[in-house]
Chain A
């Protein structure tokens, strides 16, 4: 049941499932029923989705350590790329819709405001991951180097959850939950690698 073949077969379904929300939000935005402050809403939805998908990729690696479930790792690349897709949508909403190409303002905003700096660095971290996501790239770079590059997912996850945490004004429960999950997943890896000296899931 949990074979690579079955998982590969269900990929198109997962693809549509993750793509679907962005289509819905884009449609609602154009149709004008995304609430009273549609630009803010669009930015929030894209950003939150991106963060959830980043966390999901980390979870998949952890779950793949369970022998019976190790094939689940076949979903990881697609989910990771979708995380990048939603980050791009989130970032373009900020640039094009929220600030309407006011580049001078945006650069100042990125430098001056820690929470935007965190979000931006997280975005930068994800770029090399997306560009080295193909099998060809893994071969070209050697698996060792490729793996090193992909450790960037950790700063990306931490910074993006912090980006969300700082943004919230009073009730920090939701960002705390995401940060908790990330810390747990990181801790699990550290224990495994440095205490049990087991290689991490590939």
Chain B
């Protein structure tokens, strides 16, 4: 039974391979293809080892790019991979508005030239009880927030996905209310774990994974990590989010990974790591308890799920 994929790369091998690529001709080629995504790339990835456990092995590029929930391209897991070919992630702008000093629209290139791209290997836990380990390249959302200069009255950040039904066939059907919307509390957004990802496995992030820029909040269920962001809005009230609007009894605003609070239709106590046969126990805050538990110490997590 070939369930355990031979393509799963141990984290160390991946890092070594990256070092090798860096020193070879391949990196020159890679650099010409994806200069913008890797401007100011910080290769000091060792500091991210601490976020992984020994049993966490990287999922393969194929696994990460052919099994996605991105309803803008269809509701089946293989649809984003099959239907995202016509999507054009460049040129790209992000509108920043709401409670900020000066609302404006930024070119993605301009944002990228002002931030430090880092390697971040994170566990991703889907609300559907499967998970992966993914090597992202991206920058801390806090860097962009500082750039945006929010007012002190801003307590929440809202994110909006692009709406292009002609390029995103899933948007031609009203499965959910488009455009997709997500949100974070300001302290969650400023947490150093929260990143905006622009790369995956050293490539520019593929369309099906949220090109050209997406959120990654590793201690929350995957649907919080909104893809293909075109607008970031600073608010004083908790924003409405897509899944919460669709089924508030099933999906909350917080959506923190929590093995003790079940989804009404299935248990959240275990998960299937893609590529593994036996289920794993789900970890509190997806294993990032040390980094984020303090954000919720006054919150009843069974009510604010």
| A interface residues (Cβ-Cβ under 8 A, vs B) | 29-32, 35-40, 97-100, 105, 108-109, 112-115, 166-167, 169-171
Contact = CB atoms under 8 A, between A and B. Distances in A.
Interface residues of B, number: 30
Given A31-B2, A100-B278, A170-B176, A36 B63 contact: yes
B175 A170 contact: yes
Contact of B265 (A38, A40, A100, A115): A115
B271 to A, nearest CB: 11
Contact of A170 (B71, B130, B278, B279): B71
A37 B274 contact: yes
A114 to B, nearest CB: 8
Interface of B: 1-3, 5, 62-63, 66-67, 71, 75, 77-78, 128, 130, 173, 175-176, 246, 262, 264-267, 270, 272, 274-275, 277-279
B270 to A, nearest CB: 8
B1 A35 contact: no
Contacts of A32: 1-3, 5
A170 B75 contact: yes
Contacts of A38: 3
A36 B78 CA distance: 10
27 contacts: A35-B67, A35-B77, A36-B77, A37-B67, A37-B130, A37-B272, A37-B274, A38-B3, A39-B3, A97-B277, A98-B279, A99-B279, A100-B277, A105-B270, A108-B267, A112-B262, A113-B265, A115-B265, A167-B265, A169-B128, A170-B71, A170-B75, A170-B175, A170-B246, A171-B71, A171-B75, A171-B173
A7 B208 CA distance: 48
Instruction: Decide if the interface of chain B is mainly helix, strand, loop or mixed.
Output: loop
Given A108-B267, A170-B71, 4 more contacts: A30-B2, A36-B62, A115-B265, A171-B173
A170 B2 CA distance: 32
A76 B246 CA distance: 41
A166 B265 contact: yes
A42 to B, nearest CB: 11
B258 to A, nearest CB: 17
A38 B118 CA distance: 33
Nearest to A31: B2
A105 B279 CA distance: 12
Nearest to B67: A36
Instruction: State the 10 A-B residue pairs at the shortest beta-carbon distance, nearest first.
Output: A32-B2, A36-B67, A171-B75, A170-B175, A171-B175, A36-B63, A100-B278, A36-B274, A170-B176, A36-B66
Contacts of B75: 169-171
Contacts of B5: 32
Nearest to A97: B277
Contacts of B175: 170-171
Contacts of A40: 130, 272
A114 B249 CA distance: 15
A105 B267 contact: yes
